[in-house]
Amino acid sequence: MRHLGIIMDGNGRWAVSRGQERLSGHAEGAKAVARAIEAALECRLECITFYAFSTENFKRGVQETLGIFSVLAGFLENTLLPLVKEKKLRVRFIGDLKRLTPELLETLSKVNVAGLNNTGMTVVIALAYGGREEIATAFNMLLERRLINLDASPITYDEISRYLYTAGLPEPDAVVRFGGYKRLSNFLPLQSAYSEFFFTEKLWPDFQKEDLYKICAEYQKIKRNFGDIPK
Ligand code: FPP
């Protein structure tokens, strides 16, 4: 497996079931992200993508939104930044980043700069991300370029993919969703066209490295034919 996408659901339920504030579930969720990165390095993945905050998540109100941003900023400074240096990680933030706070954007650029010349695994964090918005943004950029070039030739998927936030990354071989629901929630809808899907009842803060090992092993077992006849 080259690229695994993770939908980290269930932080709120994890906290509420313990009589805690929802935010403590997000804080535990951030610790789980660190475990997932370690496991992904052990499994020699090229790329791992975390769905950290969707465009729809802004509906949660200012308090929870800023709470998640502050957990994320702490994770980036204290956990990811040292890992970027130690493990030579590359980092990419995808989404409508202008919707984030200036403080968070500053932390993002610090992490980005630190990983600029690295050649190790790529950690992708989807923030203010929505797949449909990503597609619309890509088409708008593509349209602008084509108007400048007076180009009306047929559009190919390859061309579209060059304008997606994930341009240059391998498409996810597998997507796993934690927290019991079986839906994609606008996560990499085009890129996951050929992905294997895994769903688990486990809430994201309960993630253990063995969960990722198991997904990699299961994935390896699945014979992938891309619509061809099994050979
Ligand atoms: C979904 O759980 C989770 C989120 C909306 C936020 C995920 C954010 C983090 C794990 C924090 C930091 C991120 C990184 C990359 C370190 P939910 O709140 O929807 O859970 P529920 O369905 O139980 O309410």
Nearest atom within ligand 1 for CA of residue 72: 12
Tokens of residue 173, six digits: 């071989």
pLDDT for 140 equals 98
Mutating to test ligand 1, I would choose from 7, 11, 100 the residue with most ligand atoms within 8 A of its C-beta, which is 11
Edge-first strand order for the sheet with 3-7 is 90-94, 122-129, 47-54, 3-7, 174-177, 196-199
Please state, in angstroms and rounded to a whole number, the distance separating the CA atoms of residues 224 and 230: 8
Which contiguous run of DSSP H or E holds residue 3? strand 3-7
Q: Whose CA is nearest to atom 15 of ligand 1?
A: 52
Give the Cβ contact number of residue 102 at 10 Å.
6
The answer to whether 48 and 124 have CB atoms below 8 angstroms apart is yes
Which residues are part of the catalytic machinery?
A: 9, 57
pLDDT for 223 equals 62
Please state, in angstroms and rounded to a whole number, the distance separating the CA atoms of residues 105 and 107: 5
pTM, entire model: 0.95
Q: What is the pLDDT along the chain (231 residues), one digit of tens a residue?
A: 999 999 999 999 999 999 999 999 999 999 999 999 999 999 999 999 999 999 999 999 899 999 999 999 999 999 999 999 999 999 999 999 999 999 999 999 999 999 999 999 999 999 999 999 999 999 999 999 999 999 999 999 999 999 999 999 999 999 999 999 999 999 999 999 999 999 999 999 999 999 999 999 999 988 665 566 666
CATH topology of domain 3-130+171-220: Undecaprenyl pyrophosphate synthetase (3.40.1180)
Does ligand 1 lie within 6 Å of residue 30's CB atom?
yes
pLDDT for 26 equals 97
Q: Whose CA is nearest to atom 1 of ligand 1?
A: 9
C-alpha 27 – ligand 1 centre gap (Å): 9
